Structure 1
Amino acid sequence: MIKFILIQESLITIIITEYKLYVKNISFFNSYKKILRQILKIKIQ
């Protein structure tokens, strides 16, 4: 029973860290897209 609880806790921790990384990547990707758009605009003009 104790083992099961430990496994559950570690799974939750892993999921949380994965989610944080995912969110970071999304925000990074969004800012990256903005930068790309600006570069493209400059090239178009």
Structure 2
Amino acid sequence: MRFVSIVRTPSTPLASQGPLALLLTALEAVVLLVNVRISSGG
């Protein structure tokens, strides 16, 4: 089973986006980790 990868917005300085960009980045990292675990048979 595969998750649909999050569509990335054009890279912008974190300062311009603020905490929201940081949260989205962290969320994307979590999704990637889960995706790797599932694809590896976990």
**For this structure pair, what is the TM-score category when the shorter chain's length is used for normalisation?**
0.5 to 0.7
Q: Indicate whether 1:22 and 2:35 are aligned.
A: yes
Output one character per residue of 1:18-39: Cα deviation in whole Å (capped at 9) or x when no partner: 000000000017xxxxxxxxxx
Structure 2 unaligned regions, length at least 5: 1-14
Determine which structure has greater relative contact order: mean sequence separation of CA pairs < 8 Å that are 6+ residues apart, divided by chain length.
2
Structure 1 or 2, whichever has the larger Rg, is: 1
Query: RMSD of aligned C-alpha atoms?
Result: 2.1
The code of the aligned residue for 1:12 comes to: T
TM-score (norm 1): 0.53
- How many equivalent residue pairs? 28
Structure 2 CA distance, aligned partners of 1:5 and 1:24?
A: 30
List, as ranges, runs of 4+ consecutive aligned residues in structure 1 with deviation greater than 4 Å: none
Structure 1 unaligned regions, length at least 5: 30-45
Percent identity between the aligned chains? 11
Q: Which has the higher helix share?
A: 1
